[in-house]
């Protein structure tokens, strides 16, 4: 079926019902959308959100054995098993497609630097092959999963020196329980704030580097082809279907798995690390909203709830919802963890008319008993 593509026509109603500012692209309900990584935690919810918005999602997923050790639970949509690095498979899947929602990636931090070629291959070569095939097939619309990891650290203000950029925390400080980063100029304490999209990129590991490179590739593709692209920099995504406590999983999943074992969630540092926990259904709706309102070129948007919570608060809320045991604060730390990182998602709200709908308390209460995805070997 040929794609029914969007046009800049004010009389059309965008599929998601979001208001579309003038000059932005509107898509037409019923567009066929290729969702790479559509069998994953976030991708499967994107499929549901696109369907709810009146689109026709097609899942394209390699079903990586590390992610899907058993029989995967596939979303209710057409499914193509393929790897984004396989040009022929991508070309075939792009037939009749009006837009791509690119979620496929190798996620997490890996175990050591030996994983670097795997991450670069999957995430960056994969994105390059996908974009080259989109250029060939004249598919001009892309929404892709970015990440807040491109920022490295959160935003901090010194009372004397204004906005400053503290480097990674020293082992000596962490071991002594000094968790808060200090002003690099005067050593004073800092006030954490919200990171906006124009903060300088500072990817501090291979995964973060590949997520930033994906954005640069999308921007190059948009310039070269006249395509329209959005990268959605997700913050800490949680919700049903989240992977269990693999080395790659988020902190909420660790806490939930501990509770299921009857153990107290172990909160690292002093529990005061601030994060933006955003619900997976809100992230999925952000994808649908972005698709319905693509501007020219490439734009990056933070996707966060806008309501910072500490890791300790998440543990306490989850334990309370689960019925205990209550968390313990251990003072342990992981080198490379960021102290605070919280998003300013104003741009997404203002330009795309998106806003989060799942309240923290409700999302956590649901997450306490929601089905999780089993890890490899689990
Ligand atoms: N989970 C988070 O908190 C979070 C935060 C920021 C960004 N992201 C990004 O969101 C996206 C989705 O992440 P997720 O948490 O749902 O991960 P996930 O592992 O649950 O899903 C990824 C899916 O992509 C598939 N895949 C991986 N490589 C592929 C390839 N080369 N070809 C085809 N399919 C491939 C996997 O089989 C899997 O189904 C990723 O791009 C990730 O970088 C996630
Ligand atoms: Zn200072």
Residue nearest to atom 39 of ligand 1 (CA): 40
Do residues 321 and 364 make contact, with C-beta atoms less than 8 angstroms apart? yes
CA 201-230-167 angle, to 5 degrees, is 10
Q: Which ligand is nearest to the CA of 158?
A: 2
Percentage above 70 pLDDT, the chain: 90
pLDDT tens digits for 292-310?
999 999 999 999 999 999 9
Q: What is the mean pLDDT of the chain?
A: 90
- Please report the sign of the dihedral spanned by the C-alpha atoms of residue 258, residue 263, residue 269, residue 270: positive
pLDDT of residue 72: 82
Res 167: pLDDT: 84
Q: Which ligand is nearest to the CA of 106?
A: 1
Task: Quote the pLDDT of residue 13.
Answer: 42
Distances (CA, A) of 300 to 152, 154, 238, 354: 16, 17, 21, 14
Residue 234 near ligand 1, beta carbon < 6 Å: yes
Do residues 338 and 28 lie in contact, with contact meaning Cβ atoms separated by under 8 Å?
Answer: no
The residue with greater pLDDT, 1 or 256, is 256
Task: For ligand 1, pick from 107, 211, 235 the residue to mutate: most ligand atoms within 8 Å of CB.
Answer: 107
Q: Please give the Cα distance from 14 to 65 (Å, whole number).
A: 37
To test the pocket of ligand 1, the residue of 43, 70, 85, 254 to mutate (highest count of ligand atoms within 8 Å of its CB) is 43
Statement: residue 20 has pLDDT above 60 = no
pLDDT at 206: 93
Question: Which residues make beta-bridge pairs with 189?
Answer: 182
Rounded to the nearest angstrom, the distance between the alpha carbon of 324 and the centre of ligand 1 is 31
**Tokens matching residue 19:** 């208001």
Rounded to the nearest angstrom, the distance between the alpha carbon of 171 and the centre of ligand 1 is 31
Alpha carbons 142 and 157: distance in angstroms, whole number: 35
For residue 227, is pLDDT > 90?
yes
The CA–CA distances, whole Å, from 1 to 29, 94, 97, 139 equal 14, 11, 9, 14
Contact present, 304 and 235 (Cβ < 8 Å): yes
The pLDDT tens digits of the residues spanning 109-134 come to 777 899 999 999 999 999 999 999 99
Question: Cα–chain-centroid distance for residue 111?
Answer: 20
Q: Is 36 helix (H, G, I), strand (E, B) or coil?
A: strand
Give the number of whichever ligand sits closest to the CA of residue 191.
2
Angle at CA 274, nearest 5°, toward 272 and 275? 140
Residue 40 CB less than 6 A away from ligand 1: yes
Residue 79 has pLDDT above 90, yes or no: yes
Closest residue (by CA) to atom 5 of ligand 1? 234
* Residue 236 CB–ligand 1 contact under 6 Å: yes
Checking phi first, is residue 159 left (phi over 0); if not, alpha (psi -120 to 50) or beta?
A: alpha
Kindly report the number of other CB atoms within 10 A of residue 70's CB atom.
Answer: 11
Question: Given this model, what pLDDT does residue 254 score?
Answer: 92
Residue 69, pLDDT > 90, answer: no
pLDDT at 111: 74
CA distances from 368 to 109, 123, 214, 308, 372 (A): 25, 31, 33, 19, 10
Alpha helices in the chain (DSSP H): 41-52, 87-93, 116-119, 126-137, 171-175, 206-225, 251-260, 280-291, 311-322, 346-352, 360-367
Helix (H) or strand (E) holding 146: strand 141-147
Nearest atom (ligand 1) to Cα of 82 = 33
Give pLDDT tens digits for 212-222: 999 999 999 99
Render pLDDT for 147-203 as a digit per residue (tens, 0 to 9): 999 998 889 999 999 999 998 899 999 999 999 999 999 999 999 999 999 999 999
Q: Could you give the CA distance from residue 128 to residue 138 in angstroms, rounded to a whole number?
A: 15
Confidence bin at 324 (pLDDT 50/70/90): very high
């Amino acid at each position: 079926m040929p794609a029914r593509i969007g046009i800049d026509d004010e009389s059309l109603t965008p599929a998601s019902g979001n208001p579309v500012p003038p000059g932005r692209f509107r898509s037409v309900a019923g567009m066929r959308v290729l969702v790479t990584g559509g069998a994953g935690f976030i991708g499967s919810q994107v499929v549901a959100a696109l369907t709810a918005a009146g689109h026709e999602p097609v899942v394209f997923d390699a079903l990586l054995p590390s992610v899907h050790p058993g029989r995967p639970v596939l979303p209710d949509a057409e499914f193509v098993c393929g790897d984004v690095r396989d040009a022929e498979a991508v070309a075939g899947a792009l037939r009749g497609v009006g837009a791509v929602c690119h979620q496929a990636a190798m996620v997490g931090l890996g175990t050591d630097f030996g994983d670097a070629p795997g991450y670069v291959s999957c995430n960056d070569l994969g994105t390059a092959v996908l974009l080259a095939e989109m250029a060939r097939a004249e598919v001009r619309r892309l929404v892709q999963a970015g990440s807040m990891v491109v920022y490295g650290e959160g935003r901090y203000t010194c009372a004397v020196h204004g906005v400053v950029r503290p480097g990674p925390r020293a082992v000596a400080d962490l071991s002594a329980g000094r968790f808060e980063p200090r002003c690099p100029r005067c050593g004073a304490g800092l006030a954490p704030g919200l990171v906006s999209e124009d903060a300088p990129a500072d990817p501090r590991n291979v995964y973060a580097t590949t997520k930033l490179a994906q954005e640069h590739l999308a921007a190059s593709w948009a310039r070269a082809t006249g395509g329209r692209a959005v990268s959605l920099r997700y913050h800490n995504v949680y919700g049903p279907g989240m992977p269990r406590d693999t080395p790659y999983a988020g902190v909420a999943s660790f806490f939930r798995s501990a509770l299921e074992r009857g153990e107290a969630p172990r909160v690292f540092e002093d529990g005061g690390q601030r994060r933006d926990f955003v619900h997976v259904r809100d992230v999925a709706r952000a994808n649908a909203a972005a698709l319905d309102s693509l501007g020219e070129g490439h734009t990056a948007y933070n996707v966060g709830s806008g309501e910072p919570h500490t890791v300790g608060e998440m543990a306490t809320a989850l334990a309370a919802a689960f019925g205990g045991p209550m968390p313990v604060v251990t003072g342990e730390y992981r080198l490379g963890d960021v102290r605070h990182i919280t998003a300013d998602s104003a741009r997404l709200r203002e330009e795309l008319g998106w806003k989060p709908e799942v309240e923290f308390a409700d999302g956590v209460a649901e997450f306490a008993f929601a089905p999780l995805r089993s890890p490899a070997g689990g």
